[in-house]
Chains A and B, each alone.
Chain A
Amino acid sequence: MTIAPPTAAASVVPTKSREALDPVYRQIRDLVYKVSGIYKAEDKLYLLADGCGRRMKHLGACTAREYWGHLSGQPGREGELRNLLNEVTIGETCLFRSPPQLDALRKVILPEIVGGKIMQVPKRLRIWSAGCSTGEESYTLAMNMLEESERLLKGWTVEILATDLNDHSVETAKAGIYGDYALRSTPDHFKRKYFSMVDEKRLRVCADVKKLITFSRLNLQDDSKMPIMKGMDLIFCCNVLIYFDGPSKSKVIEHFFRNLNFGGYFFLGTSESLMKLNDKFHLVHFPGAIAYWKPSLKSSQL
């Protein structure tokens, strides 16, 4: 599932300080959370206000209160909420977006999964990046798995399936070429090791990383395709569920649950919540990161 291209985010300029914000933006924040599970933290509220500002301009609404009417009272509010969600998730994607999530993955989760599959032959780790957009998350995962290839994952085969609804995004992802903005959080060590230079402003992901990933087009609502995604150890689905209505969202989450191995983990975006849409997953905390865990058979039988 694709959101606006990363370059668009460069134009997001904070226009309002926290103190100056109209209290109605907190009401909008609560509404956005209720319908999408996306939570805009206090220090990111100005981004929500910016997104609202762009929509207000489009609609000709003069005040935040007036815009609130478009979101809550008037006919067409669902469409407007979707437009706003598009605005507020702009530019959220980049490589190495959540270091605490990667720490949890490498320090806690991988040792647990590897330990759980100690008797398994062949040793295989399957990861699904669902709604991979232009590939930033998929490549970040691949590079981190390669970092473990001489340690925890020695002798393991890692497969990353990266899917998106949008053909254009999938093609961009396959090319694996990123500019400064997408690479702003990538540690230099990774830039040197896993990229080659395209020109002064862009780097290309190297072939060793690419060969871990299979990019393809997939509609998450296409039930017939879901069985081919089974046997996953990890599923990442960042800022994608916001595009589905309640029942579709529940169905997609159920697919994720079924396609995960017992003991596998499901990750959402860092400020996104599954809320109460699925009670089979266990919400688990790691330092600075949250994940949803499908309990291992052993623990679910206890």
Chain B
Amino acid sequence: MIASVAATIRERVQYIETTPTIPAVFLPLLKLLSNSTEEVQVDEVVRLVSYDNSIAAQCLRVAGSPLFGMVQRPQSIKGAIISLGLRRVETILLTCCLGQAFPTKKWVLDPVVFWRHSLGCAMVCQRFSEKLAAADAEKAYMAGLLHDIGLMVNCLVFPKEFAVAMQRACQEEIPLDEAEQATMGFTHCDTGRALAEKWKLADDITEVIAYHHGLEQSQASQPLVALVHLGDLFCRMRGLGYGYYERHKVDLIADPAWAILLKEHRDLEGVDLVRFTFELDDAVDEIHALVSTVFGSTPVRT
């Protein structure tokens, strides 16, 4: 990407700061999530959430989703933390905040489709991570949830350019990042990175956002980027993509990301990918329900 394009992206991303709907709790929460669990106090999270009743209420609704393993909806944030664990509640809160942070109408990309993909990817990354007994399944969830944040930037600050890219992707049935590169000269990875840097997201999450379509460029956090790269592909093949047909054959095991993950987690060899696929299919309805819970009624498509 040429320097002038990068400068334009950075300049336009400043616009996002003026978006009035970002809940006050969002950025402090992101900061909390980048700390290790031992350093985070339960009361601090409860205090943070109590500033915003609507976020707290939504968090409790989401926590009641079968996807998070709860049979009954918890009655308080503290109760949810006791049942689900601090990290999981933090990621649920993040999901809710993110849902409120961006307008849900008049997007080039249908917000419902976008959130289904993002939440789907979050779930896949988390479950994959749990199967591999990887250290931080919640980090994987967060990475999956935020990986395509650049698409929101595109919708907000490059709507015309992104509309052309989206149209090309739908018409030619090609991956969205290819269409973006061909028509805009940059992708949602570049715009997402600009936002991640502005928000001072953790380095590993920033790498995921910037390199999930360019794994070879990632440095310190390759396994996490590889996980999200696979989760993204997986969702796009199982009805949680961008809402159009991609003429695409995906050989996950032959993907370089698989080899990177395998180096870190020998357990990967034992994973039954077909069964995992069927289990994801089982979760698709829950993901749709979760998107409705977080974002209310179906937004209007432009």
Contacts and interface: CB of A to CB of B under 8 A. Distances in A.
Contacts, number: 67
A41 to B, nearest CB: 5
B250 interface: yes
Contacts of B173: 107
B252 interface: yes
Contacts of B252: 283, 285
B279 to A, nearest CB: 8
Nearest to A40: B278
A288 B244 CA distance: 12
A271 B241 contact: no
Interface stretch (B96-104, B186-194, B204-212, B269-277): B269-277
Contacts of A33: 275
Nearest to A107: B247
A286 B274 contact: no
Q: SS class of chain A's interface: helix, strand, loop or mixed?
A: mixed
Contacts of B277: 285, 290
B88 to A, nearest CB: 22
Interface string A39-62: 101110000000000000000000
A197 interface: no
Interface in B125-184: 173
Contacts of B246: 287
B297 to A, nearest CB: 24
B39 interface: no
B251 A283 contact: yes
B251 A287 contact: no
A274 B247 contact: no
B275 A39 contact: yes
A285 B237 CA distance: 6
A275 B272 contact: yes
Interface residues of A, number: 25
A282 B241 CA distance: 23
Contacts of A287: 236-237, 239, 241, 245-246, 248
A49 to B, nearest CB: 16
A283 B245 contact: no
Contacts of B248: 108, 286-287
Contacts of B273: 283
B38 interface: no
B43 interface: no
A284 interface: yes
Given A286-B237, A287-B237, A290-B277, A107 B285 contact: no
B266 interface: no
Nearest to B246: A287
Interface string B234-271: 10111101000111111111100000000000000000
B285 A43 contact: yes
Nearest to A286: B249
B272 A273 contact: yes
Nearest to B239: A288
A128 interface: no
Contacts of B247: 107-108
A164 B131 CA distance: 40
Contact of A288 (B238, B249, B272, B278): B238
B274 A290 contact: yes
Contacts of A41: 278, 281-282
A112 B272 CA distance: 27
B94 to A, nearest CB: 27
Given A107-B173, A273-B272, A288-B239, 10 more contacts: A39-B274, A42-B282, A103-B245, A108-B247, A283-B251, A283-B253, A285-B233, A285-B238, A285-B250, A286-B250
Question: Which 9 A-B residue pairings sit nearest by Cβ, starting from the closest?
Answer: A273-B274, A285-B237, A39-B278, A285-B250, A42-B282, A284-B251, A107-B247, A282-B251, A108-B247
17 contacts: A39-B278, A43-B282, A107-B245, A107-B247, A108-B247, A108-B249, A112-B249, A271-B278, A273-B272, A276-B272, A282-B251, A285-B234, A286-B248, A288-B238, A290-B274, A290-B277, A293-B249
Interface of A: 33, 37, 39, 41-43, 103, 107-109, 112, 271, 273-276, 282-288, 290, 293
